[in-house]
Amino acid sequence: MSLSDQHAADLSPETVVVAAGRPERAHDEPVNPPIVLSSTYFGTGSLGDGDRGYGRYANPTWDPFEDALAKLEGATLPGLLYASGLAAVSSALSLVPAGGVVVMPSHSYAGSLVMATELAEKGFLELRTVDITDTDAVKALISPESGKKADLLWLESPTNPMLGIADVRALTDAAHAAGAIVVTDNTFSTPLVQQPLSLGSDVVLHSVTKYLAGHSDVVLGALVTSNPELRATLLHHRIIHGGIAGPFEAWLALRGLRTLALRIERSQASAATLAERLSVHPRVEAIRYPGLATDPGHERAKAQMKGFGSILCIQIAGDEQRGGADAADHLVRALQLWLPATSLGGVESLIERRRRHTAEPLSVPENLVRLSVGIENVEDLWSDLEQALKSLDG
Ligand SMILES: *Cc1c(COP(=O)(O)O)cnc(C)c1O
């Protein structure tokens, strides 16, 4: 790649998203990497994990994105792309030894929780879930007074969709003291807002589907680590379990990454404005956004993040029927600009009532609506929310 690690370390992330992952500067060569469509590569010798060899081992189209993401997360080794965020979750959970203990936030991404729960039900691992904002409770599960210590601490901060903030440094230190490795799902924050490796995490996970690709048109995942043994294990898992990225998706993800800094800047600013306004709206019973000074996670978020992200959650005041779910459903249906859809992190603003998913933990309130703020004009977004909230009264 044409941008050295040394040079990237001197540049701001807003520049790295544009400059990383370019081909060598040679006369008449393209400035963007090509898409390589080949399931196999010329070769005659024996084939190892480090060789290109065959299309499940490697594809040159992955390299620029893996290089750029590693630079952004401050890793010394290239990242690893996967077919989806959950393929990356599967690979990360493979780091747990048979029967090992995993400590996970009770409000982790639902798919990660389902996967860990199913592995636990089959006896492959022991799962301990906990309120990740309660540092003492997490520490007690990592190193219980009696019983096994944790092998892996799974971190998500802010959590999805409760937006709880973990003390990443304190929990990482506690996990390492117990001999556990730490995997942090950094999907909500992106490396521009939070760098878990610098807070001590061993592995960072992304659903690239969300902010990194940013246009709701690809499904991809990634892992990043600076630990050579962990990376070798993860790479081997990717080769043997086969959760690999398609070259076209990998190319689209790099193209999306180019505008990440601009998108984050806009969507974070809009999220802050909308949070302030929603927090005083009579139809909003409760709001979660770590950027609000009144939010329980505010101080922690300020200390470990650069900004507060662009996801916010509100609970809609309504009649007691179905815990306010009807009012929340009504709000979502009354919107004309916001798109009623799951997922997050795209250029378009998305909204959904989370408990419409049966896999969502029951501790998520029925009337909780998650807003993924996009890059549209903030006054247009606000007008639409205002008219939809108003329609609840009529
Ligand atoms: C979407 C998401 C995932 C799963 O990623 P997919 O690309 O949908 O497989 C994992 N973690 C978080 C926080 C997510 O938002």
The closest-lying atom of ligand 1 relative to the alpha carbon of residue 209 is 7
102-106 average pLDDT score: 97
Share of the chain above pLDDT 90, in %: 91
Q: Could you tell me whether strands 284-288 and 125-130 are parallel, antiparallel, or unpaired per DSSP bridges?
A: unpaired
Specify the pLDDT at position 8: 87
The closest-lying atom of ligand 1 relative to the alpha carbon of residue 343 is 1
Residues with catalytic function? 56, 109, 185, 210
Spatial separation of the C-alpha atoms in residues 200 and 9, rounded to whole Å: 18
Spatial separation of the C-alpha atoms in residues 388 and 160, rounded to whole Å: 24
176 CA distance to ligand 1 middle (Å): 25
84 CA distance to ligand 1 middle (Å): 8
The closest-lying atom of ligand 1 relative to the alpha carbon of residue 208 is 7
85 CA distance to ligand 1 middle (Å): 5
Which stretch of DSSP H or E encloses residue 37?
Answer: none
pTM passes above 0.75: yes
Spatial separation of the C-alpha atoms in residues 393 and 391, rounded to whole Å: 5
Sequence-separated (6 or more) residues with CB below 8 Å from residue 29: 23
Match 């060569």 to its residue by tokens.
29
Q: What are the DSSP E strand ranges found in 241-373?
A: 284-288, 311-316, 339-340, 350-353, 368-372
What number of CA atoms fall less than 13 Å from residue 181's CA on the CB side? 17
pLDDT higher than threshold 90 for residue 263: yes
Spatial separation of the C-alpha atoms in residues 323 and 365, rounded to whole Å: 8
Domains annotated for the chain, with CATH where assigned, are 5-257 (3.40.640.10), 261-391 (3.90.1150.10)
Structure tokens at 209: 């589907």
Torsion of CA 171, 115, 149, 75, to 10 degrees: -50
Q: How is residue 40 annotated by DSSP?
A: B
Structure tokens at 393: 């009264």
What number of CA atoms fall less than 13 Å from residue 231's CA on the CB side? 17
Spatial separation of the C-alpha atoms in residues 96 and 352, rounded to whole Å: 33
Structure tokens at 286: 């409760």
Question: What pLDDT band is residue 93 in, cutting at 50, 70 and 90?
Answer: very high
What is the residue with the minimal CA distance to atom 5 of ligand 1? 85
Structure tokens at 365: 């309130």
Kindly report the CA angle at 304 between 375 and 342, in degrees rounded to 5?
40
Torsion of CA 200, 202, 207, 212, to 10 degrees: 60
**Of the candidate ranges 173-182, 289-298, 316-325, 335-344, the one whose mean pLDDT is the lowest:** 316-325
Kindly report the CA angle at 210 between 226 and 264, in degrees rounded to 5?
85
Between the two ends of the chain, the Cα-to-Cα distance in Å is 59
For 316-346, write each residue's pLDDT tens digit. Answer: 998 777 778 999 999 999 999 999 999 999 9
Specify the pLDDT at position 324: 86
Strand 368-372: give its sheet, edge to edge: 284-288, 311-316, 368-372, 350-353, 339-340
Specify the pLDDT at position 361: 86
Please list every protein residue whose CB sits less than 6 Å from any atom of ligand 1: 84-86, 109, 111-112, 160, 185, 187-188, 207, 209-210, 219, 221
2 CA distance to ligand 1 middle (Å): 31
